[in-house]
C-alpha cells in the first residue's frame, strides 16, 4: 500500500481531491509554516533566553513587572462574588460526563454558580518575592514564568442577581468589574457569529483574552505559544467546573475577532480575545 506524501489519485493530489468536491481550495500553508518556525525554541536561543530569564528572576524592576500580572478597572463598579460552595462531584465523574452542548434551555443560572465557575481560575496562592512589599499571585493553572497573560471577561445573559452586561473578572479579589451595564443580544450574537441562537438560551458567555506583552517580553516569540497554551487551559478549567455543578458548555471558536474585541473594548493587538465559552442549562 502506497502511503507516501506524494501519492497521486487520478492525477490530483489526495488532499486536493478530498477538498475539491465541496468547492474549497486547500489553504496556503506557507504563512503558517513561517509563523510556527518563528516560535520554535532552538539550541542557539537557549543562551539568549537564559540571560533574559535570569534577569527576570533577579532584577527588581523585572520582578515588579512580573508581579503586576493582572488587569484592574479601577473606576468600574465592583461586585464581590459570594464565597463559592465546594464542587462535590468527583473528578472521575466530571471527566466521564463532560460534553459540548449546542442547545441551552434559557433557564437562569445563579450568581453562586458563577462564583463556582470562576473559582476554578481564582488566585489560590500568594508568595512574597525577593523585593520587599511585592507579592506574586498564583492561579490554579500553569503559566510560563507565572506571567499569566490571560484575562477573563463575561457577558451576562441570564444570571440571577447579576444585571445583564459586560464584566471583567479579578481573580485576586474574586470580584467582577462592570464594564457595560447592558449588552444588546443582537450585538453579542453578531460578534459571536451566532446564527443558531446559542447565546439566546445561555446564561453566560466567557471570553478569554491574552496580553502578549506580559509573556513575550520575557520569552520572546516563544511567549506567544505559552500564551496560547494558557488560553486553552483557562476555559477548560471553567468547563470542568461547569460540568461539576450541573451546567453545560460549548467551547466556541466561531466568534468574529474584531467584533468581539470591539464589544469588550480591546484593541485586538496588545490584547485580544482568543477563546470563548458559552455556558447555561442544557435544553431539550
- List Cβ neighbours of 36 (8 Å cut-off, separation of 6 or more): none
CB-side neighbour CA atoms (13 Å) of 77:
9
Question: Going by C-beta distance under 8 Å and a sequence separation of 6 or more, which residues neighbour residue 12?
Answer: 20
- Got the DSSP string for 100-121? B---B----EEHHHHHHHHHTT
Round to whole Å and give the CA distance between 166 and 182.
Answer: 7
pLDDT (0 to 100) of residue 22: 54
pLDDT along the chain (284 residues), means of 10: 46 51 60 80 72 80 85 94 96 95 91 97 90 89 92 95 95 96 89 88 95 89 92 96 96 95 94 96 77
DSSP 29-90: -HHHHHHHHHT---TTHHHHHHHHHHHHHH-HHHHHHHH--S---TTSEEEEPPPPPP--S-
How much is the pLDDT for 148?
Answer: 94
The pLDDT assigned to 7 comes to: 45
Task: Report the pLDDT value the prediction gives residue 13, as an integer from 0 to 100.
Answer: 53
In angstroms, what CA-CA distances link 172 with 54, 148, 156, 269? 27, 12, 20, 25
Can you give the length of the chain in residues? 284
Amino acid at each position: 500500500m502506497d502511503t507516501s506524501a506524494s501519492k497521486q489519485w487520478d492525477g490530483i493530489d489526495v488532499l486536493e481531491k478530498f477538498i475539491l468536491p465541496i468547492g474549497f481550495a486547500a489553504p496556503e500553508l506557507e504563512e503558517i509554516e513561517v509563523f510556527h518556525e518563528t516560535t520554535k525554541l532552538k539550541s542557539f536561543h537557549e543562551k539568549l533566553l537564559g540571560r533574559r530569564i535570569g534577569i527576570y528572576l533577579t532584577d527588581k524592576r523585572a520582578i515588579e513587572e512580573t508581579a503586576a500580572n493582572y488587569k484592574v478597572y479601577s473606576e468600574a463598579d465592583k461586585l464581590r462574588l459570594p464565597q463559592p460552595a465546594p464542587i462535590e462531584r468527583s473528578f472521575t465523574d466530571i471527566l466521564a460526563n463532560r460534553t459540548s452542548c449546542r442547545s441551552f434551555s434559557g433557564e437562569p443560572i445563579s450568581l453562586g454558580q458563577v462564583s463556582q465557575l470562576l473559582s476554578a481560575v481564582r488566585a489560590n496562592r500568594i508568595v512574597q518575592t525577593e523585593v520587599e512589599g511585592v507579592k506574586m499571585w498564583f492561579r490554579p493553572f500553569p503559566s510560563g514564568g507565572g506571567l499569566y497573560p490571560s484575562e477573563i471577561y463575561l457577558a451576562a445573559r441570564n444570571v440571577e442577581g447579576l444585571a445583564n452586561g459586560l464584566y471583567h473578572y479579578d481573580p485576586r479579589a474574586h470580584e467582577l468589574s462592570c464594564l457595560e451595564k447592558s449588552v444588546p443580544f443582537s450585538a453579542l450574537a453578531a460578534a459571536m457569529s451566532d446564527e443558531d441562537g446559542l447565546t439566546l438560551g445561555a446564561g453566560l458567555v466567557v471570553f478569554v483574552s491574552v496580553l502578549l506583552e506580559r509573556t513575550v517580553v520575557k520569552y520572546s516569540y516563544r511567549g506567544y505559544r505559552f500564551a496560547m497554551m494558557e488560553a486553552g487551559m483557562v476555559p477548560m478549567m471553567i468547563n470542568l467546573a461547569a460540568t461539576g455543578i450541573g451546567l453545560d458548555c460549548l467551547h466556541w471558536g466561531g466568534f468574529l475577532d474584531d467584533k468581539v474585541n470591539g464589544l469588550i473594548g480591546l484593541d485586538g493587538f496588545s490584547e485580544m480575545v482568543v477563546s470563548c465559552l458559552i455556558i447555561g442549562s442544557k435544553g431539550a
